Amino acid sequence: MCGIVAATAERDVVPILIAGLKALEYRGYDSAGLSVLADGALARARTVGKVRELEARLDSEPLHGSSGIAHTRWATHGVPSERNAHPHTSVGSVSVVHNGIIENHEALREQLRASGYEFTSDTDTEVIAHLVHHIAKEGANFRDAVAQAIARLEGAFAIAVMSSDAPGTIVGARRGSPLVVGIGIGEHFLGSDVQALIKVTNRFVYLDEGDLVEITRTSMQVFDADGAAVQRRTHQSELSADAVERGEYRHYMLKEIFEQPRAIAETLEGRIAGHRILPNIFGVGALELLPRVRHVQIVACGTSYHAGLVAKYWLEALAGLPCSIEVASEYRYRKVVVPRDSLFVAISQSGETADTLAALREGKRLGYLGSFAICNVPESSLVRESDLVLMTRAGPEIGVASTKAFTTQLSALALLVLELARLNGLDADRCARFVDDLESLPRRVAAALELEPAIATLAERFVAKHHTLFLGRGVNFPVALEGALKLKEISYIHAEAYPAGELKHGPLALVDEDMPVITVAPNNALLEKLKSNIEEVRARGGELFVFADTSVEIPANGERGAVIKVDAGSDLIAPAVFTVPLQLLAYHVAVLRGTDVDQPRNLAKSVTVE
Ligand code: G6P
């Protein structure tokens, strides 16, 4: 999704802006651009496609300047094109980059047209540039003009604005979309996230909702939603620039798949001791709050939603607590009845997903017992706005298709579920066995990764396919959903997941020699039921690929499929273990099909607009 970088310094900021845009590439985008102030005038370069196209343009038509704003655009209003790429300017003197959606842009456009402004793009963003210009023309200074302009905007956004009338000054603002301030030595920056700026500073100020910030080379001043000057704390980021490098791997996604044993181990680190979950790991207030929980409401999007679905099975089976789960975009817009003593759990890798954040805010309004975030980004809005937090420690995830975030979310959720299970009477021995199981997860995931060469070979059988069906039962049904999501996201093969028991109610009609069926077969109480479903596929001549626990005997389907053995373990850890070969399969199919694995078409890593 759109990314913002801005810098004001003594040196030429163009290399900083380009490096920042590259660090934001992972969010997904379709065009890029920048504006700098050079010799008192604004100069702009914009290109469709990757940041390297912008670089190439700058090689042939160089720009330099000591202050500038830059952007990667993910189209919402207007097709991806150079004229719609940001920055957008007004009368050559105001330049704006914007992340989010201005909902009242049509009304503003009409008013500004009536005032004589000409529009050169189809975007909602351009109204901001003209509005700032219009207000400044009436006599407001630059910062006030931006403040007055945003007061007239409806919707969610983060912006960075510069003006040739205020050389060296950049004004940023956030309402609903993330924006951080980077503090350098004699220079200041703005970025959509810490990663965009980590090469130039490790000191950051996280803006609050509604904040406006004015930066110059030597100063930074934040104003809150009421326009009052405020102090926001400076944080030292622990992110290292190396953590966002691809290293020897061909793609970030592959690197991140292979990082899973370590990421899971780190997520569990210091949170388990003596076969028990340590009681103080859920933060201040948890000891008092968690024992009161009688119901859990989970809200999330995409892969994080799949992690939540797994947790629902666990919560009801192990803790005996009723659990509801819903995708955030649905939850936030319907009339919700909140059961008594319900805990609101939001799961998000980025902590900036617009729908998940809106659902959290709605949940707080509705009066849950408390809010609990499972998140991978410590500085994110979700973390800052939740009562209790359990961080996944996956490290930066760059590939748009989520991998290590998912398995670390499962690990964190397992910790929460086991604690709630203990509080609700799960006996100590069973609890200890589950905790031991959980500790074996990094080792089992590492073993599953050894299947990579076999899965790379298997992938060849999917390259020419147009559709795939994934089946799972019980706690592994969400695994089927996640496997299908991975395949469709990065290989563009249509993939659907069904609970295996639903096969006869429709999808079986699709099964023929051109429709491969993939299923995971754990050694649990549902195995015999699953075997019947497998026979139903076989009997229709379907091609069948089974990822089966090592202890499960399932006959191979001759030429028409394969059985791959995985040491999956109990229902508490099998979902994470089985997910690994499905990730690898999606990855290798995508590589063979030649798609853009890390930045699949049309998708964004961090969906900061609804
Ligand atoms: C986007 C990403 C997915 C992710 C989802 C939720 O769709 O492409 O990989 O699962 O957003 O993101 P979150 O950061 O809230 O987990």
Taking CA atoms only, the protein residue closest to ligand 1 atom 1 is 605
Closest residue to atom 2 of ligand 1, CA basis: 605
Q: Clarify whether residues 360 and 222 are in a common domain.
A: no
CA of 98 to the centre of ligand 1 (A): 20
Which of 187, 221, 243 delimits the end of a domain? 243
CA of 350, closest atom in ligand 1: 14
- Verify cis geometry, omega within 30 degrees of 0, for the bond prior to 581: no
Strands of the sheet with 3-8, listed across from one edge: 41-48, 31-38, 67-73, 3-8, 188-191, 180-183, 203-206, 234-236
Please tell me whether residues 53 and 17 are part of one structural domain.
yes
Q: Select the more confidently predicted residue: 187 or 76.
A: 187
Q: Which residues on neighbouring strands pair with residue 563, listed in sequence order?
A: 546
Last-in-domain residue among 243, 278, 297: 243
Question: Three-state SS for 115?
Answer: coil
Per the annotation, the verdict on 2 as an active-site residue is yes
pLDDT at 240 over 80: no
Tell me whether residue 149 is in a domain.
yes
| Alpha helices per DSSP H over 477-573 | 477-491, 527-539
Which residues form the domain of 101?
A: 3-243
- To which H or E segment does residue 518 belong? strand 517-521
Question: Three-state SS for 442?
Answer: helix
Task: Note whether 294 and 412 are same-domain residues.
Answer: yes
Q: Note whether 303 and 407 are same-domain residues.
A: yes
* pLDDT above 80: residue 400: yes
pTM for the full model?
0.81
Give residue 596 CA to ligand 1 midpoint distance, Å: 17
Neighbouring residues of 571: CB distance < 8 A, sequence distance ≥ 6: 313, 314, 317, 474, 475, 522, 524
DSSP code of residue 176: B
Query: What is the atom index within ligand 1 of the atom nearest the CA of 409?
Result: 16
Residue 302: its pLDDT value, please? 97
Q: How far is the CA of 352 from the centre of ligand 1 (A)?
A: 9
As a whole number of angstroms, the distance between CA 131 and CA 145 comes to 8
CB 44, CB 87: distance < 8 Å: yes
Nearest atom, ligand 1, residue 303 CA: 10
pLDDT tens digit sequence for 86-99: 999 999 999 999 99
Residues 6+ away with beta carbon under 8 Å from 421: 318, 319, 320, 431, 434
Give the distance (Å) from ligand 1 centre to CA of residue 487.
Answer: 15
pLDDT, position 487: 98
Q: How far apart are CA 378 and CA 262, in angstroms?
A: 19
* Same domain? 330 vs 455: yes
Domain harbouring 483, CATH code: 3.40.50.10490
Contact 566/549 with Cβ under 8 angstroms? yes
Pocket test for ligand 1, best of 195, 304, 345, 482 (most atoms within 8 A of CB): 304
**pLDDT at 284 (0 to 100):** 80
Mean pLDDT, the chain, integer: 93
DSSP H helical ranges for 440-517: 441-449, 452-459, 477-491
Q: Give the model's pLDDT for residue 480.
A: 98
pLDDT digits (tens, 9 = 90+) for 284-325: 889 999 999 999 999 999 999 999 999 999 999 999 999 999
Q: Are residues 80 and 172 in the same domain?
A: yes
Instruction: Examine the domain organization and report whether 436 and 532 are in the same domain.
Output: yes
Same domain, 151 and 278: no
CA distance 9 to 219: 11
The band of 177, judged by pLDDT with boundaries at 50, 70 and 90, is: confident
Going across the sheet that includes 561-566, the strands are 494-499, 467-472, 517-521, 544-549, 561-566
- Reported as a single tens digit per residue, the pLDDT across 521-538 is 998 888 888 888 888 888
Both 131 and 277 in one domain: the answer is no
Q: Positive or negative CA dihedral for 359, 364, 367, 372?
A: positive
DSSP state of 502: G
What is the C-alpha radius of gyration for the chain, rounded to an integer number of angstroms? 25
Residues 98 and 222 in one domain: yes
The per-residue pLDDT for 55 is 96
Close Cβ partners of 275 (under 8 Å, ≥ 6 residues apart): 431, 432, 435, 436
- Tell how far the Cα of 350 is from the centroid of ligand 1, in angstroms: 7
Output the CA 349–ligand 1 centroid distance in Å.
7
274 torsion bin: left (phi>0), alpha (psi -120 to 50), beta (else): left
The pLDDT value recorded for residue 561 is: 86
H/E element, 345: strand 342-348
pLDDT value for 583: 98
| Confidence tier at 378 by pLDDT (50, 70, 90) | confident
pLDDT band at 28 (very low <50, low <70, confident <90, very high): confident
Q: Which of 1, 490, 605 is the best mutation target for the ligand 1 pocket, counting ligand atoms within 8 Å of the beta carbon and taking the most?
A: 605
Mean pLDDT, residues 206-216 taken together: 93
Which amino acid makes up residue 193?
Answer: D
Nearest ligand 1 atom to the CA of 356 is: 15
Backbone angles phi, psi at 411, to 5 degrees: -65, -45
Q: What total number of domains does the chain contain?
A: 2
Asked if residue 603 belongs to a domain, the reply is no
Distance CA 567, CA 243 (A): 30
Give the closest residue to 16 by CA, choosing from 258, 243, 189: 189
The sign of the CA dihedral 592, 597, 601, 603 is: positive
- Same structural domain, 285 and 223: no
C-alpha of residue 38 to centroid of ligand 1, in Å:
38
Is residue 605 among the annotated active site residues?
Answer: yes
451: Cβ contacts below 8 Å, ≥ 6 apart: 564, 566, 580, 581, 584
Is 609 a member of any domain? no
Could you tell me the pLDDT band of residue 270, with boundaries at 50, 70 and 90?
A: confident
Nearest ligand 1 atom to the CA of 489 is 8
User: Is 375 inside any structural domain?
Assistant: yes
Would you place residue 196 in the very low, low, confident or very high pLDDT band (cuts 50, 70, 90)? very high
**What six digits make up the tokens of 406?**
């998912």
Within a domain: 598: no
**Closest residue by CA, ligand 1 atom 4:** 302
Classify residue 295 by burial, with Cβ atoms within 10 Å: 0-12, 13-18, 19+: middle
Decide: 608 in ligand 1 pocket, CB within 6 A.
no
Report phi then psi at 236, rounded to 5: -100, 120
Which protein residue's CA is at the shortest distance from atom 7 of ligand 1? Answer: 302
* 469 and 421 in a common domain: yes
Residue 124 belongs to a domain with what CATH number? 3.60.20.10
| Ligand 1 atom with least separation from CA of 400 | 8
Residue 1 has pLDDT above 90, yes or no: no
Which pLDDT belongs to residue 75?
83
349 lines ligand 1 (CB under 6 A): yes
Catalytic residue among 2, 301, 323, 431: 2
pLDDT for 178 beyond 80: yes
Is residue 27 within 6 Å of ligand 1 at its C-beta? no
Provide the residue type at 272 as one letter: I
Give yes or no for residue 260 CB within 6 A of ligand 1. Answer: no
Q: Which atom of ligand 1 is nearest to the CA of 353?
A: 15
Ligand 1 pocket check for 381: Cβ under 6 Å: no
CA of residue 472 to ligand 1 center, whole Å:
22
Q: Is the pLDDT of residue 243 over 80?
A: no
- Whole-Å CA distances, 72 to 80, 99, 126, 583, 607: 11, 9, 15, 28, 14
Catalytic residue from among 404, 486, 488, 605: 605
For residue 603 and ligand 1, the question of a CB distance below 6 A is answered with yes
CA distances from residue 286 to 133, 264, 375, 405, 524 in whole angstroms, order as listed = 50, 23, 17, 24, 33
